[in-house]
């Protein structure tokens, strides 16, 4: 029995490892985003975006924004959290306000508002 389980386990491991590069290349998570595309986003400069502020946490410098599609990142519209860069003034922003902003993704999964355009 031990040999059968060991052989089965080895066969399963080999089958999975043979497919893992293909699976990893197609694997999508983090709200349905393609992780390969997210890595490319993190290597790019800030891009233009438009959205409505839903929540402001001034002490943490975090904005929850319902943004329109971001074409440069092939990202659909959604509500998500953005960290405000140190030079971004949050004092004039209000919940419900529509803004145009520049955003970057310096680290996968961390989105940053680098500038409020209007």
Total structural domains within the chain: 2
Domain extent for 19: 2-36
Reduce the secondary structure of 40-100 to three states and give it as a string.
Answer: HHHCCCCEEEEEEEEEEECCCCEEEEEECCEHHHCECCEEEEEEECCCCCCCCCCCCCEEE
Q: What is the CATH number of the domain that holds 95?
A: 2.40.50.320
- Higher model confidence: residue 34 or residue 98? 98
Q: Are residues 51 and 75 in the same domain?
A: yes
Measuring CA to CA, which residue among 63, 94, 91, 93 is closest to residue 79? 63
Average pLDDT of the residues of the chain: 77
Q: Are residues 56 and 80 in the same domain?
A: yes
Q: Are residues 69 and 13 in the same domain?
A: no
Q: Are residues 14 and 60 in the same domain?
A: no
- pTM, whole model, 2 decimals? 0.64
């Amino acid at each position: 029995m031990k040999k059968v389980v060991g052989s089965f386990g080895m066969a399963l491991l080999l089958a999975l490892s043979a497919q893992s590069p293909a699976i990893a290349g197609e694997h999508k998570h983090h709200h349905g985003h393609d992780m390969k595309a997210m890595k490319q986003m993190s290597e790019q400069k800030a891009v233009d975006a438009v959205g409505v502020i839903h929540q402001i946490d001034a002490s943490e410098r975090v904005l929850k924004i319902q943004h329109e599609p971001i074409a440069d990142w092939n990202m659909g519209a959604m509500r998500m959290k953005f960290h405000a860069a140190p030079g971004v003034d949050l004092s004039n922003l209000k919940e419900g306000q529509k803004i145009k902003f520049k955003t970057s993704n310096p680290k996968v999964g961390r989105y940053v508002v680098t500038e409020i355009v209007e």
